[in-house]
Chains A and B, each alone.
Chain A
Amino acid sequence: MSQALRSAKERALQIVEQASKIRIQDARDNLGARTSGRQVRKANNQMGHTQGALERAAKPPLGWIWGDFFRPWQRMFPGEKHFNADINVRREYIPLSLIELTRLIDLGWIDPSKPIDISTLCRTQKFQINPNIRQYGFDLTEEGADSFPYAIDIEVQYATQSAIAAVEKAGGRIRTSYYDVNALEAAIDPKKWFEKGNVVPQRKAPPKTLIGYYMDAKNRGYLADESDIENNRINLANIRGYKLPDHEMVTEPLKTVDQVFHGIPAGSVISLADKKLYSPTNEIHREYYSKQVADKQYS
């Protein structure tokens, strides 16, 4: 007990135990928690004489700190195209470092024996992805690459070479794949998507600026040839100087290129209440959902 009493909590509770009954009027804020601002008296108010005088007075333009009213400091610098001009076409990714991934697996938030994709990562509620502000998924970064222990099957949207090497060194499989906005929305919160009664969407092919990335076996793109990827895997191991495991640790089949969820074909409707999957029977619908379409992004 004496050990336990060392904590501030136990000492506080000891005081409470010896105190008289705590009533409503005894609960109060900490000292100094709320301070009211100093009242500026009318005589000291330098803001202006009257409201009307303030309204009519010349006021500086927005952001003025120094300079001429007509040439304030923030307008004296030249515009720069590299800064924000391409914000509408830039794709943002959520950084996911390998050390954070290790930690998520260590603490039981993610099961390493099952395939890991956006839905798995978002289910931990540790990441927020908002497709509406052009966030397009996860970027696997290399922090913690030198000690990544798990043979996982992971699918991210972007990955550095070091991260790819770290995952493959541990015997895992990594693929980078593109999710269009609609598919991403379904993948982020499948429960919400199914409860709305929406059809499981088809993953569109990447837009033309990204198609090169996802067809490159070096990036383990999902559109690349599997034999190319295998060659690149061995090649990367030789370059980086590590030994690949002898036998395949991940043998589960990959998602097809237009599939959002594992085991759920595009075009089906899920009923969570009945735990059933309804596939389209109409030939037109089936054809619609089996046709590969490109994402009509402007970049």
Chain B
Amino acid sequence: MFLSQLMRQSGASASAARNLWRKSENPFISTPQAWLTDLEQVEEKKRGIIDLHPDVFRVAPRLDILHRNLTWQKVYRNVQMTKMLTKAEMPGGGRKPWPQKKTGRAHVGSIRQPEFIHGGFANGVRGPRTWFYMLPDAIRLQGLCVALTLKHAQDDLHIVENMQDLQNGDPKFWQDLCESRNWGYSVLMIDDSDVISGGLAEAQEQLAWLNCMPVYGLNCYSIIKYDTVVLSKNALEKIEQRLLQHLHRAKPLNLKYRYQDYKEKILNESRAEENPNMPPIV
């Protein structure tokens, strides 16, 4: 409401009213809106207003759900490859160094005992160890919605018409653009296609703080890490479509990944390999 008044004053073109799939009929749920701009010139030119889906861009700001997502993203890929050898795994040490009694020395059976210098480790780190786990689908979905909501609520989410084949690839131009629009220290551009060409591609190669990402790479960590997130209009459509599809899917959101269901598949993984007996170690 407020934004449309503003738009009438600024004389921008007609608002892009989208029909939002399965939007709630509840009159108390207001539809979030965002300005539609472009990346052609340094100054921000408002092309219109775009409606966003309240189930994606106006959810409860659950920082704890966001935290679970961020922690998961940081942790699940960690692998500890350190392996401290035990007494049995160290070379040598099979002989009793001195008789058990009457030497005045400790009763020892091997020079690789943990008490010895260069001995084995009793309770060492025994890698390889992983911290991999799978966050439930519902939490991951909600995390994405929360991250997008936070960005939108703090005016850090911008929608642009187009990202492909832009004219100007000069880093100075992009720096001025982001500075004049108050886009903060780092900017993430999200487009629906995974190939980007033109000015934006040239600029993001030069600038470390400017990055591009396809829609399928969207994740909580990146959304929160970058100061500003810029979506192309196509990307917005795709994100909403994908998230809503999963939010409204008939199957339960807490899918069980039980080992006994995947056992057959995992054990037969190497069947298609060139040498089934020696599959490559990933």
A residues lining the B interface (CB < 8 Å): 1, 3-4, 6-9, 12-13, 16-17, 19, 21-24, 26-30, 33, 109, 124-126
Structural contact, A17 and B154, CB atoms closer than 8 A:
yes
Indicate which residue in B30, B224, B227 contacts A1 across the interface (CB closer than 8 Å).
B30
Given contacts A1-B1, A29-B67, contact A24 B224 (CB under 8 A): yes
Q: Which 6 A-B pairs have the closest CB atoms?
A: A125-B250, A27-B67, A9-B60, A27-B66, A30-B64, A16-B61
What is the CA–CA distance of A115 and B250 in the complex, to the nearest angstrom?
A: 21
Given contacts A12-B60, A16-B61, A24-B224, contact A3 B28 (CB under 8 A): yes
Interface of A is mostly: loop
Structural contact, A124 and B250, CB atoms closer than 8 A:
yes
Structural contact, B30 and A28, CB atoms closer than 8 A:
no
What is the CA–CA distance of A101 and B34 in the complex, to the nearest angstrom?
A: 42
Structural contact, A4 and B61, CB atoms closer than 8 A:
no
Indicate which residue in B58, B63, B184 contacts A27 across the interface (CB closer than 8 Å).
B63
Structural contact, A22 and B149, CB atoms closer than 8 A:
no
Q: Which residues of A contact B59 (CB under 8 A)?
A: 9
Structural contact, A28 and B63, CB atoms closer than 8 A:
yes
Structural contact, A22 and B28, CB atoms closer than 8 A:
no
What is the CA–CA distance of A23 and B63 in the complex, to the nearest angstrom?
A: 11
What is the CA–CA distance of A6 and B149 in the complex, to the nearest angstrom?
A: 18
Q: Which residues of B contact A109 (CB under 8 A)?
A: 250
Query: Can you list 17 A-B pairs with a CB-CB distance of less than 8 A?
Result: A1-B1, A1-B30, A4-B28, A9-B60, A12-B60, A13-B58, A16-B153, A19-B154, A22-B154, A23-B224, A27-B224, A28-B63, A28-B67, A29-B64, A30-B64, A33-B64, A125-B251
What is the CA–CA distance of A1 and B29 in the complex, to the nearest angstrom?
A: 9
Indicate which residue in A4, A9, A24 contacts B225 across the interface (CB closer than 8 Å).
A24
Q: Which residues of B contact A17 (CB under 8 A)?
A: 153-154
- Whether B111 is near chain A, meaning CB under 8 Å from some CB there, is no
- Whether B109 is near chain A, meaning CB under 8 Å from some CB there, is no
Q: Which residues of B contact A27 (CB under 8 A)?
A: 63-64, 66-67, 70, 224
Given contacts A7-B28, A16-B153, contact A24 B70 (CB under 8 A): yes
Report the nearest A residue to B54, measured CB to CB.
A9
Q: Mark B14-49, 1 if CB is under 8 A from A, else 0.
A: 000000000000001110000000000000000000
What is the CA–CA distance of A124 and B61 in the complex, to the nearest angstrom?
A: 31
Q: Which residues of B contact A4 (CB under 8 A)?
A: 28-30
Chain B 105-162 interface residues, beta-carbon cutoff 8 Å to A: 149-150, 153-154, 156
What is the CA–CA distance of A62 and B97 in the complex, to the nearest angstrom?
A: 47
Structural contact, B67 and A13, CB atoms closer than 8 A:
no
Structural contact, A21 and B184, CB atoms closer than 8 A:
yes
Q: Which of A8, A13, A17 has the most CB of B within 10 A?
A: A13
B residues lining the A interface (CB < 8 Å): 1-2, 28-30, 58-61, 63-64, 66-68, 70, 149-150, 153-154, 156, 184, 221, 224-225, 227, 250-252
Structural contact, B154 and A21, CB atoms closer than 8 A:
yes
- Given A22-B63, A125-B250, A125-B251, 13 more contacts at CB 8 Å? A7-B28, A8-B60, A9-B59, A12-B60, A13-B61, A16-B61, A21-B156, A22-B154, A22-B224, A23-B224, A27-B63, A27-B67, A125-B252
Report the nearest B residue to A20, measured CB to CB.
B154
Structural contact, B64 and A13, CB atoms closer than 8 A:
no
Q: Which residues of A contact B225 (CB under 8 A)?
A: 24
What is the CA–CA distance of A16 and B29 in the complex, to the nearest angstrom?
A: 17
CB distance from B146 to the nearest CB of A (A): 9
Q: Which residues of A contact B63 (CB under 8 A)?
A: 22, 26-28
Q: Which residues of B contact A16 (CB under 8 A)?
A: 61, 150, 153-154
Q: Which residues of B contact A13 (CB under 8 A)?
A: 58, 60-61, 149, 153
Q: Which of A8, A9, A33, A126 has the most CB of B within 10 A?
A: A9
Report the nearest A residue to B30, measured CB to CB.
A4
Structural contact, B28 and A21, CB atoms closer than 8 A:
no
Report the nearest A residue to B70, measured CB to CB.
A27
Report the nearest A residue to B154, measured CB to CB.
A21
What is the CA–CA distance of A124 and B251 in the complex, to the nearest angstrom?
A: 8
Q: Which residues of B contact A30 (CB under 8 A)?
A: 64
What is the CA–CA distance of A1 and B67 in the complex, to the nearest angstrom?
A: 30
What is the CA–CA distance of A185 and B149 in the complex, to the nearest angstrom?
A: 43
What is the CA–CA distance of A209 and B61 in the complex, to the nearest angstrom?
A: 58
What is the CA–CA distance of A29 and B70 in the complex, to the nearest angstrom?
A: 11
What is the CA–CA distance of A24 and B224 in the complex, to the nearest angstrom?
A: 6
Structural contact, B60 and A24, CB atoms closer than 8 A:
no
Q: Which residues of A contact B149 (CB under 8 A)?
A: 13
What is the CA–CA distance of A17 and B70 in the complex, to the nearest angstrom?
A: 21
What is the CA–CA distance of A126 and B150 in the complex, to the nearest angstrom?
A: 33
What is the CA–CA distance of A16 and B157 in the complex, to the nearest angstrom?
A: 14
CB distance from A111 to the nearest CB of B (A): 15
What is the CA–CA distance of A9 and B59 in the complex, to the nearest angstrom?
A: 7
CB distance from B3 to the nearest CB of A (A): 12
Q: Which residues of B contact A124 (CB under 8 A)?
A: 250
